Amino acid sequence: MNPALVLKAGREKSLRRHHPWIFSGAVERIEGEAASGDTLTVRSADGKPLALAAWSPKSQIRARVWSFDPGAKIDAAFFRTRIAEAAALRRTLEIDRHSNALRLVHGESDGLPGLVVDRYGDVLVAQFLSAGAERWREEILDALREASACEAIYERSDAEVRALEGFGPRTGFARGNQNARRCAVIEYGMNFRVDVERGQKTGFFLDQRENRQRVRELAAGREVLDCFCYTGGFAIAALSGGAHGVIAVDSSGAALEVARENLAANALEPDAIEFVEADVFAHLRALRDRRAQFGLVVLDPPKFAPTAAQARNAARAYKDINLLALKLLAPGGLLATFSCSGGVPMDLFQSIVAGAALDAGVQAKIIERFAAAADHPVALDFPEGEYLKGLLVLRP
Ligand code: SAH
């Protein structure tokens, strides 16, 4: 029999709505012996079994639900089934018509809390970010290999959130061919190299795939500024969409090196993108002082507010860059502005951009909204899964 996690009286409501997180404040007691990652039967205060969850003794999220069927069995077959379901969902999306890269497993929204898996061609990159995912690592790796027939699995369990679960970082090949370090990705006919060892996160930002495509469609004939360009995703999309010229800014020299390789890997004018290694906050000011003007500006900053508690400082940072970017827009110019902060919901983000426009003295309109690509689904029971949002703003 599993050890049990007994909830405090009245704290079963979110579980009944199938929210997968159990916070420390909701836990009355543990019955039996439970080690990190062990499967617990979650019970209401009056003893009703509600779910099976993985024990995370170090984390404020004390347990994450594997199944809302308390009679289920959490074993290798369970992970094979969940991973097969995640793969089946991606097949129905037919992403492979446009790309050989996709997010195969998106954590809680695929019923696999703490597990993120991206596929780059024949290579999978996996992140084990919770005590439960860590406990079942071998079974999960076997199931991934089986479901995807991939050549190799590279582990990038070096995200900061692992520390909250009490684990140090772990990276390296977990399965298969040890030479698959640089993966060639094709996205809507554009070529990108993904450095799975040293790239940020798992190496590439797949969540922006469709938004890069939209920017590509909008870029024809425009001077483009791509802020926080990383390995050149938006910049290369804009250029291949017919942009006149692109300035692409990032503070990471390593990312810009890959960005230059990416540009060279496409049949595009090699001098049409000027890569600038700089802090975006400072560089936007420099461009303003030079009275530079752009027909399209992309702002895709890193997560300024991972949680709602950090939203205040993040709001200042978002407002600052959006204000500067709006001032750089020529009449008829477009701003594609994003936030991937879970702690900043769309309504807050929109009001930050509105404040920035007001202070910039720019009249602007929202003409479209952006979200993460469909291979980053949001389980309706787990609104936290919706983290990437964006606005397309027109300066008339
Ligand atoms: N738009 C990219 C992803 C951006 S990720 C794509 O489509 O692939 C965020 C990027 O911001 C990272 O490359 C990081 O190096 C960069 N960055 C973070 N802080 C920065 C700063 N203050 N100035 C410039 N770049 C920064």
Residue 196 forms part of a structural domain = no
DSSP secondary structure letters along 358-379: HHHT---EEEEEEE--TTS---
Residues 167 and 256 both lie in one domain: no
Residues 54 and 101 both lie in one domain: no
* End residue of a domain, out of 18, 36, 67: 67
pLDDT of residue 307: 75
List the CATH number of the domain containing 156: 3.30.750.80
Q: How many CA atoms lie within 13 A of 65 on its CB side?
A: 26
Among the atoms of ligand 1, which is closest to the Cα of residue 302? 9
Residues 58 and 81 both lie in one domain: no
> How many Å lie between the centroid of ligand 1 and the Cα of residue 161?
19
User: In this structure, are residues 370 and 205 in contact, taking their beta carbons and an 8 Å threshold?
Assistant: no
Dist. CA 361–CA 383, nearest whole Å: 34
Residue 15 forms part of a structural domain = yes
Residues 352 and 327 both lie in one domain: yes
Q: Please name which of 198, 246, 237 lies closest in space to residue 218, comparing C-alpha atoms.
A: 237
Catalytic residue among 150, 183, 227, 340: 340
Structural domain harbouring 144? 76-183
User: In this structure, are residues 189 and 268 in contact, taking their beta carbons and an 8 Å threshold?
Assistant: no
pLDDT of residue 180: 76
* Residue to probe by mutation, ligand 1, list 198, 227, 251, 324, most atoms within 8 Å of CB: 251
Domain count, the chain: 3
pLDDT of residue 310: 84
* End residue of a domain, out of 45, 67, 89: 67
Residues 210 and 85 both lie in one domain: no
User: In this structure, are residues 387 and 370 in contact, taking their beta carbons and an 8 Å threshold?
Assistant: no
Pairing mode of beta strands 39-43, 49-55: antiparallel
CB atoms within 10 A of CB 1: 6
Q: Please name which of 321, 324, 394, 339 lies closest in space to residue 364, comparing C-alpha atoms.
A: 394
pLDDT of residue 179: 79
Maximum C-alpha span of the chain: 70
Residues 251 and 389 both lie in one domain: yes
Residues 355 and 263 both lie in one domain: yes
Residues 244 and 386 both lie in one domain: yes
List the CATH number of the domain containing 19: 2.30.130.10
* End residue of a domain, out of 48, 67, 86: 67
Which two tokens mark 206? Answer: 């797949």
Q: Please name which of 352, 267, 358 lies closest in space to residue 301, comparing C-alpha atoms.
A: 352
Task: Tell me, rounded to whole angstroms, the distance of Cα 86 from its chain centroid.
Answer: 17
CA dihedral sign, ordered 173, 178, 181, 186 = negative
Which residue type is seen at 378? Answer: V
Dist. CA 272–CA 280, nearest whole Å: 20
**Beta-carbon contacts of residue 28 (< 8 Å; ≥ 6 apart):** 6, 7, 8, 9, 45
pLDDT of residue 311: 83
Residues 152 and 112 both lie in one domain: yes
> How many Å lie between the centroid of ligand 1 and the Cα of residue 303?
9
Count the helices and strands in the chain (H runs, E runs). 11, 20
For ligand 1, say whether the CB of 34 is within 6 Å of any of its atoms: no
Can you list the residues of the chain whose pLDDT is less than 50?
Answer: none
User: In this structure, are residues 250 and 229 in contact, taking their beta carbons and an 8 Å threshold?
Assistant: yes
For ligand 1, say whether the CB of 148 is within 6 Å of any of its atoms: no
pLDDT in tens, 370-389: 999 999 999 999 999 999 99
Write the burial class of residue 117 (CB in 10 Å: 0-12 exposed, 13-18 middle, 19+ buried). buried
Residues 233 and 375 both lie in one domain: yes
The phi and psi torsions of 273 (rounded to 5 degrees) equal -115, 125
Among the atoms of ligand 1, which is closest to the Cα of residue 226? 1
CB atoms within 10 A of CB 14: 15
Quickly tell me which residue has 């929202």 as its tokens: 366
Which two tokens mark 390? Answer: 């964006």
Q: Please name which of 177, 204, 212 lies closest in space to residue 120, comparing C-alpha atoms.
A: 204
Which two tokens mark 114? Answer: 């703490």
For ligand 1, say whether the CB of 280 is within 6 Å of any of its atoms: yes
Residues 22 and 106 both lie in one domain: no
Residues 52 and 88 both lie in one domain: no
How long is the chain? 396
Residue 192 forms part of a structural domain = no
User: In this structure, are residues 58 and 129 in contact, taking their beta carbons and an 8 Å threshold?
Assistant: no
Q: Is 229 a residue of the active site?
A: no
Residue with CA closest to ligand 1 atom 13: 230
